[in-house]
Amino acid sequence: MPTSTRRSESYRKPSSGCAARMPPSSAVKLSQPAERLPVAHPPSSKQSAPPEIPLRIPENDEAYTAFANWGLAREEGEEEPVIFLSGPAGCGKSLLVRWGVQQFLNRHRKARTLVLTAAEFAAQLADASSQQTIPLFQAALRDLDLLVIEDLQALQGRPETQVQLLHLMIALREHEGAMAFTANSPPGGLTGFPPRLISRFRGGITVRITAPAAESRLKLLVQLARGRKLRLSREALIHLANEFPVTPRELGGVLTRLESMSRQHRRPIDLELVRRYLDREASLPNLTLPDIAREVAAEFGLKLTDLRSSRRTRELAFPRQVAMWLSRQLLGESLLSVGRFYGGRDHTTVGHACQRVTELLASDGELPSRVERIRRRLRQES
């Protein structure tokens, strides 16, 4: 690319960009600091927190390297390659992305960044279309220094949105903007996408993460337990890692339930307690989102339709959060699918709900017993 088109490292200030002139209905949030990017567990608004550092394991090694080096090419006056990260739900794609954005910002502190899901991108684009402000929408995004779009598979069957994304990628490349995308499959596995868009995804760095093997699960368990200040015997950790082949996200849920069992039975998290927990998990039936919603509604004396509605009354909010947490823990459902099931809520709302329930399980004396009653009834349905 000719030197005359290269940006200054000082970057343009967002106050002069097109986003400032966009109507509220179609405006995009630009120049967000890393701690305010949409994340599964948003930090407190009173005090910002740095993004969690992912644990480097063989299953994510290539992706870790790609995001650790994000922004280096720009420092050297070169073009930043597009990063395409794929992998199953719960394996840490969002965590790597958030951490990668922070690495980029550490090197380019004035960079204008935006992280959003593909569903959010499509919704904002549709809103801009209804307001006849698509040129302003595209102009605002084109002025970014870094763009991340997660869960790209949500754009399947949306040809107009895909075309707009292709135009945006071309424009960002002309403006030397960095881009990253995540999906549940590699570019070649995306169905219903035009070849030109697939070619753009393949034209950069394509990396994949997989579910962790037993050795990696042990390392993750040690890190998670240390972060929560939980004490587990070495035998318990090894047995859990070997006998429970789940994703990193699910491992966090396992520790939450073991902590609850430990308090309930007033005993340490040792090998016997882990075996008891695994025996109980083995008896769970093949559950669905409606199964969990029905039992949560019954536990809290609510109508199922109210629990799943978009209403935000206080008597519905907390039971709905419990249902969302159980859906994540028992089914491994994505934030997006859980949000859709419960009144079309976005992934950040679901992430906040799950974080709140996790915190309350450690401090609320009544909640663990209520959750256990729900789980017991779900097991009885098998």
Q: What is the pLDDT of residues 147-157, one digit of tens each?
A: 999 999 999 88
Kindly state whether residues 163 and 235 are assigned to the same domain. no
Rounded CA-CA distance 276/271 in Å is 9
Residue 342 has pLDDT above 50, yes or no: yes
Yes or no: say if 115 and 101 are a contact pair by the CB < 8 Å rule: yes
Kindly state whether residues 24 and 118 are assigned to the same domain. yes
Closest CA to 67 of 50, 54, 57, 58: 54
From residue 191, give the alpha-carbon distance in Å to each of 155, 158, 188: 10, 11, 8
Residues in a beta bridge with 86: 183, 208
Burial per residue of 99-117, b for 16 or more beta-carbon CB atoms within 10 angstroms, e otherwise? bbbbbbbeebeebbbbbbb
Average pLDDT score, the chain? 82
Among residues 261, 282, 303, which one ends one of the domains?
282
Work out the percent of the chain whose per-residue pLDDT is above 90. 50
Q: Is the dihedral of CA 69, 71, 72, 73 positive or negative?
A: positive
Yes or no: say if 257 and 277 are a contact pair by the CB < 8 Å rule: yes
Yes or no: say if 190 and 152 are a contact pair by the CB < 8 Å rule: yes
Kindly state whether residues 275 and 184 are assigned to the same domain. no
Residue 76: CATH number of its domain: 3.40.50.300
Q: What is the pLDDT of residues 299-313, one digit of tens each?
A: 999 999 999 998 888
Kindly state whether residues 183 and 98 are assigned to the same domain. yes
| Better pLDDT: 239 or 376 | 239
Kindly state whether residues 33 and 179 are assigned to the same domain. yes
Among residues 264, 282, 300, which one ends one of the domains?
282
Residue 309: CATH number of its domain: 1.10.1750.10
Highest mean pLDDT among 197-201, 210-214, 281-285: 197-201
End-to-end CA distance of the chain: 62
Work out the percent of the chain whose per-residue pLDDT is above 70. 84
Structure tokens at 147: 């763009």
Show the domain range for 307.
289-380
Kindly state whether residues 219 and 201 are assigned to the same domain. no
Instruction: Please tell me the predicted confidence (pLDDT) of residue 365.
Output: 62
Residue 340 has pLDDT above 50, yes or no: yes
Structure tokens at 354: 């799950």
Q: Are strands 205-208 and 83-86 parallel, antiparallel or unpaired?
A: parallel
Kindly state whether residues 318 and 200 are assigned to the same domain. no
Kindly state whether residues 201 and 314 are assigned to the same domain. no
Residue 275: CATH number of its domain: 1.10.8.60
Kindly state whether residues 176 and 76 are assigned to the same domain. yes
Kindly state whether residues 59 and 102 are assigned to the same domain. yes
Residue 235 has pLDDT above 80, yes or no: yes
Q: What is the pLDDT of residues 30-76, one digit of tens each?
A: 333 333 333 333 333 334 455 678 999 999 999 999 999 999 988 88
Instruction: Please tell me the predicted confidence (pLDDT) of residue 282.
Output: 63
Kindly state whether residues 274 and 369 are assigned to the same domain. no
What are the two backbone dihedrals, phi and then psi, of residue 48, each rounded to the nearest 5 degrees?
Answer: -75, 150
Instruction: Please tell me the predicted confidence (pLDDT) of residue 317.
Output: 93
Q: Please count the structural domains in the chain.
A: 3
Kindly state whether residues 165 and 247 are assigned to the same domain. no
